[in-house]
Copies of this chain bind each other. A is one copy, B any other.
Amino acid sequence: MGVLIVEHKLGFIHANAGIDRSNIDQSLNQVLLLPEDPDLSSDKLRSTISKHFGKNIALIITDTMGRPFRNGIVGFAIGSSNLESVVDERGKQDIYGNILKVTQIAVADELAAAASLLMGQADQKKPIVLIRGYKFNFSTSSNGKDLIRSEEEDLFR
């Protein structure tokens, strides 16, 4: 099997650069690409759904990715709108009153992973998952780009 590990122009590191042939009609000789601007797409979807239902919501567009060091794919956020995608807990106290020094939580990725379990990867036909009851932080300034680590800051590379 030929696989290329490629950095997508959006900053995602993907096997086969996020180009997918599953869940499309392969007789048409087409491939499925990522949204050109996933955060903009998230904004538009969030705005339309929000108006339709008269509710303030947040929205995440998910995909699945393979990972270095680990087997299997997991859901992650390729774009988001109106939620704090990375929650910075630095400065907070733990149970013993110690100050957390490094803890930043990829909340949008964890929500995407949870949603991905319900969406499935085969013929489940569940493109949308409604997350209820989780107390996330609304944010108009955060989006999916906050989850992408710059090459300079990436200790793993």
Binding site for B on A (CB under 8 A): 1, 3, 5, 12-13, 15, 21-26, 64, 66-76, 85-87, 89, 92-96, 98, 100-107, 109-111, 113-114, 116-118, 121-123, 125, 134, 146-149, 154-157
Residues of chain B with a CB closer than 8 A to A89's CB? 121-122
Q: How far is the CB of A24 from chain B (nearest CB, A)?
A: 6
A11–B122 alpha-carbon span in the complex (Å): 30
Contacts of A118 in B (CB 8 A): 134
Instruction: List the 3 closest A-B pairs by CB distance, nearest first.
Output: A72-B106, A68-B156, A114-B114
Question: Would you mind naming 24 contact pairs between A and B with Cβ atoms under 8 Å apart?
Answer: A5-B155, A5-B156, A23-B96, A23-B98, A25-B96, A67-B149, A68-B154, A68-B157, A70-B76, A70-B148, A71-B146, A71-B147, A71-B148, A72-B85, A72-B109, A73-B104, A73-B106, A74-B109, A92-B122, A95-B125, A100-B121, A110-B116, A110-B117, A114-B114
